[in-house]
């Protein structure tokens, strides 16, 4: 990947701008939330060009945005955010990604570090044995084919009927764990075939289930509202829509490519294939995308349930007992496009917000924040790598005006998987983490090499920029104790 030559100018604290004057096709500026430390890696690939390319799409409102964890992706950069007018704008699968609704959930417990420390290795091994993980792995939650479509339609509500989640869990999920406009008729038989046996499976790459401990609290009031305290053990699950979402994206990209030509949309990059939001093609993709998002919501709930059952079994408790004290803090989407109300040029309007490698960040009082948290704001979950930390933040008013209510979704990749494999062998990664007191399991040693901490940016720096730019506010830092990878 060649370094970008696009000119950036400083635009305030942790802000850089790409002026639309550099390209006559750009309809708006690019605005990047970065520190000088993160700027070097941003310039190292073509993601600045991708930010500029997104700014050429019809109906874009506000700026073409890049979060602090930004890096090169398909069409949109990963860490890219853009909003489009409902009537004149477009929907682009490249602005959502192949892994539709890849996201994270965080579960608190009543357990403390001292209580589980002697059992960490056994806990990780038990989760690893119970939860199917890896490329193409099936054998997760058993579902009949007629029931599969019901799951695609109702998401987390379906999970409550199967006993995988509770009504309280659903109340602590983005959009209640269901995008209501899902329509299984817009999903192919091939996509169903790929996804049918993958609900409750982890997948490979950067997906994980981790045991973490709350290392430090930065905001006592908000932490208390989220049910977090120092030395508390938590579970974090990171996964998405597996082969199902990948197939949905794969099949709709050629349709969108034809639609762009049909509607006379000129594209600087064919990976930005798109269709008007009001077109039949655009509406069909949104309906299929919502099915994949609902799949992912259920998948994370099933993974979480597998981890909770494993912990309860090892410790000799009932999963639903007060002694375990399991409670879903929140579940957030990372790769999604949704209609939301935002203020644009002083007027409130409905826009379609694409977040690709970005998470929602809503302030106190916002009607889409769960009732239990509405007095403080929405939890913002930012996972890091296997060896450093993950963060809980809370949404802010300034995120609404600066980034369409968006914040970074993680550390952001610094090196490719191929480059990571050359840095250190998988077994050496495992041994290095064990010396730090972190137990990891993976289906292959190659995964450990490709996902080692050094292939990621420092999540603490990403979070520092997010807070400094006003995109979210610090609540708690969580340290990994151990985890599983596909």
Residue pLDDT, tens place only, 394-427: 999 999 999 999 999 999 998 888 888 888 898 9
347 Cβ neighbours under 8 A, 6+ residues apart = none
pLDDT by residue (tens digit) across 352-386?
999 999 999 999 999 999 999 999 999 999 999 99
Phi, psi of 398 (to 5 degrees): -65, -25
Give the chain's length. Answer: 486
pLDDT at 140 over 90: no
> Which pLDDT score is estimated for 44?
84
Average pLDDT rounded to a whole number, residues 448-459 = 92
- In the prediction, which pLDDT does 205 show? 83
| pLDDT bracket for residue 137 (50, 70, 90) | confident
* pLDDT at 4 (0 to 100): 63
The confidence score (pLDDT) of residue 361 equals: 98
Mean pLDDT over residues 44-50, rounded? 92
Asked if residue 135 has pLDDT above 80, the reply is: no
Average pLDDT over residues 109-121: 96
Check 172, 207, 409, 418 and give the catalytic one: 409
Least confident of 193-197, 257-261, 364-368, 443-447: 443-447
Mean pLDDT computed over 293-316 = 97
Element spanning 196, H or E? none
Task: Summarize the confidence of residues 55-67 as an average pLDDT.
Answer: 98
What one-character DSSP code corresponds to residue 99? S
Q: Hey, which residues does 127 pair with through a beta bridge?
A: none
Q: Which residues contact 450 (CB under 8 A, 6 or more apart)?
A: 205, 417, 418, 420, 421
pLDDT per position as a tens digit, 226-276: 999 999 999 999 999 999 999 999 999 999 999 999 999 999 999 999 999
Q: How far is CA 380 from CA 206, 312, 329, in A?
A: 19, 27, 10
Instruction: Output the furthest CA–CA distance in the chain (Å, rounded).
Output: 66
409 is catalytic: yes
Please give the model's pTM, rounded to 2 decimal places: 0.96
Q: Does residue 70 register a pLDDT over 70?
A: yes
Indicate the helix (H) or strand (E) that contains 351. Answer: strand 347-356
Q: What percent of the chain has pLDDT over 90?
A: 88
Cα 21 to Cα 16: distance, rounded to the nearest angstrom: 15
Beta strand 275-276 with 232-239 is unpaired
pLDDT, mean of residues 166-173: 97
* CA geometry: angle 362, 364, 366, nearest 5 deg: 60
What is d(CA 459, CA 408) in angstroms, rounded to the nearest whole number? 10
Among 130-139, 175-184, 298-307, 372-381, the minimum mean pLDDT is found in: 130-139
- Percentage of the chain exceeding pLDDT 70: 99
């Amino acid at each position: 990947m060649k370094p970008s030559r696009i000119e950036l100018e400083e635009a305030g604290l942790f802000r850089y701008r790409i002026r639309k004057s550099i390209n006559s096709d750009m309809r708006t500026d690019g605005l990047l939330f970065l520190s000088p430390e993160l700027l070097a890696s941003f310039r190292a690939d073509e993601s600045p060009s991708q930010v500029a390319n997104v700014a050429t799409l019809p109906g874009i409102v506000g700026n073409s945005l890049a979060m602090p964890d930004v890096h090169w992706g398909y069409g949109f950069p990963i860490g890219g955010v853009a909003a489009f007018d409902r009537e004149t704008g477009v929907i682009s699968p490249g602005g959502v990604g192949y892994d539709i609704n890849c996201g994270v959930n965080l579960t608190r417990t009543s357990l403390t570090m001292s209580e589980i420390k002697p059992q960490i290795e056994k806990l990780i091994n038990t989760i690893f044995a119970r939860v199917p993980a890896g490329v193409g792995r099936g054998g997760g939650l058993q579902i009949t084919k007629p029931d599969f479509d019901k799951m695609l339609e109702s998401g987390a509500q379906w999970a409550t009927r199967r006993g995988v989640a509770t009504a309280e869990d659903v109340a602590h999920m983005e959009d209640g764990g269901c995008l209501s406009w899902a329509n299984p008729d817009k999903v192919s038989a091939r996509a169903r075939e790929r996804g049918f046996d993958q609900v409750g499976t982890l997948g490979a790459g950067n997906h994980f289930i981790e045991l973490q401990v709350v290392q430090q609290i930065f905001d006592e009031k908000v932490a208390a509202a989220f049910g977090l305290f120092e030395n508390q053990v938590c579970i974090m699950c990171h996964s998405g829509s597996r082969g199902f979402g990948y197939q949905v994206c794969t099949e709709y990209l050629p349709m969108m490519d034809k639609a762009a030509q049909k509607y006379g949309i000129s594209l600087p990059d064919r990976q930005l294939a798109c269709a008007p939001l009001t077109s039949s093609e655009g509406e069909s993709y949104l309906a299929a995308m919502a099915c994949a998002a609902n799949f992912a919501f259920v998948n994370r709930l099933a993974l979480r349930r597998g981890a909770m059952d494993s912990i309860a079994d090892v410790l000799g408790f009932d999963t639903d007992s007060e002694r375990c004290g399991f409670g879903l803090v929140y579940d957030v989407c990372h790769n999604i496009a949704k209609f939301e109300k935002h203020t644009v040029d002083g007027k409130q309007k409905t826009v379609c917000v694409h977040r690709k490698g970005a998470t929602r960040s809503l302030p106190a009082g916002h009607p889409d924040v769960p009732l239990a948290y509405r007095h403080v704001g929405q939890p913002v979950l930012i996972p890091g790598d296997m060896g450093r930390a993950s963060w809980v933040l809370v949404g802010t008013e300034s995120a609404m005006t600066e980034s369409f209510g968006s914040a970074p979704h993680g550390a952001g990749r610094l090196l490719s998987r191929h480059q990571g494999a050359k840095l250190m062998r998988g077994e050496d990664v495992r041994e290095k983490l064990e010396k730090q007191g972190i137990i990891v399991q993976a289906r292959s040693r190659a995964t450990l090499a490709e996902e080692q901490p050094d292939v990621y940016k420092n999540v603490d720096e990403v979070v520092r920029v997010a807070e400094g730019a006003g995109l979210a506010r610090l609540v708690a830092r969580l340290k990994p104790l151990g985890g599983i990878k596909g």
